[in-house]
Amino acid sequence: MPGDSSIKAGVHREKFEVAPVSSIWLPRLVEIDSSWNPASWSVKLFERELINPASRVRGLFRGNTLVGYLCAHVVMDEAHIVSLGIDPVWRRQGGGNELLRDFLRLCRLENVLHVTLEVRVSNQAAQALYAQAGFKAAGIRKHYYSDNGEDAITMRYTVEMP
């Protein structure tokens, strides 16, 4: 609409879609990952995740564009979010929330009881995202990140079953 300040500010009005990611998206996964991850994953690593039966790789799409992803491992009744990344152009528009909501819904369908993750102590935005979704701090992993030795906060979510 003319005069809509959210359009002027560059806020995108389309809805996000979340779906499984296929190998055609490998270069884009690496591109998104390298935009935020100092120890960026390679095409080969993402390729292994896509064929690993324990992996769940979900993509965040705007139209035909992959703008984010979530990669997690599910083993029996537990899941671990290994990585979540959003293209910098699409951050702070609700995509991270969409990915988490989708994954937690998937966890309920797969009878997963607990979800864990690690997040950098310095990454306040990610900590807030996870806390808003219901994750609670559960501990500290000293010198967890290999790129700079930064500590990680372990966060845990208990899945509510219907």
143: left (phi over 0), alpha (psi -120 to 50) or beta: left
How many Å from the N-terminal Cα to the C-terminal Cα in the chain?
Answer: 40
Per-residue tokens: 102? 């989708």
Distance (Å, whole) CA 82 – CA 71: 6
Sign of CA dihedral 131, 109, 83, 28: negative
Report the CATH number that the domain containing residue 120 is assigned in CATH.
Answer: 3.40.630.30
Of the residues 31, 47, 78, 118, only one is catalytic, namely 118
The question of whether 157 is a catalytic residue gets the answer: no
pLDDT at 14: 61
Cβ atoms within 10 Å of 112's Cβ, excluding its own: 22
What is the per-residue pLDDT across 23-62, written as a single tens digit (0 to 9) for each?
999 999 999 999 988 778 999 999 999 999 999 999 999 9
Residue 8 lies in a domain: no
Residue 1 lies in a domain: no
Residue 5 lies in a domain: no
Helices and strands (H and E) in the chain: how many: 5, 7
Residue 137 lies in a domain: yes
**Tally of domains within the chain:** 1
Per-residue tokens: 28? 């884009």
Of the residues 49, 69, 98, 130, only one is catalytic, namely 130
Q: Which residue has the higher pLDDT, 57 or 92?
A: 57
Per-residue tokens: 157? 């979510």
pLDDT band (50, 70, 90) for residue 131: very high
Residue 101 lies in a domain: yes
The question of whether 130 is a catalytic residue gets the answer: yes
- Is pLDDT above 60 for 13? no
Residue 2 lies in a domain: no
Domain of 45?
15-158
What is the per-residue pLDDT across 109-120, written as a single tens digit (0 to 9) for each?
999 999 999 999
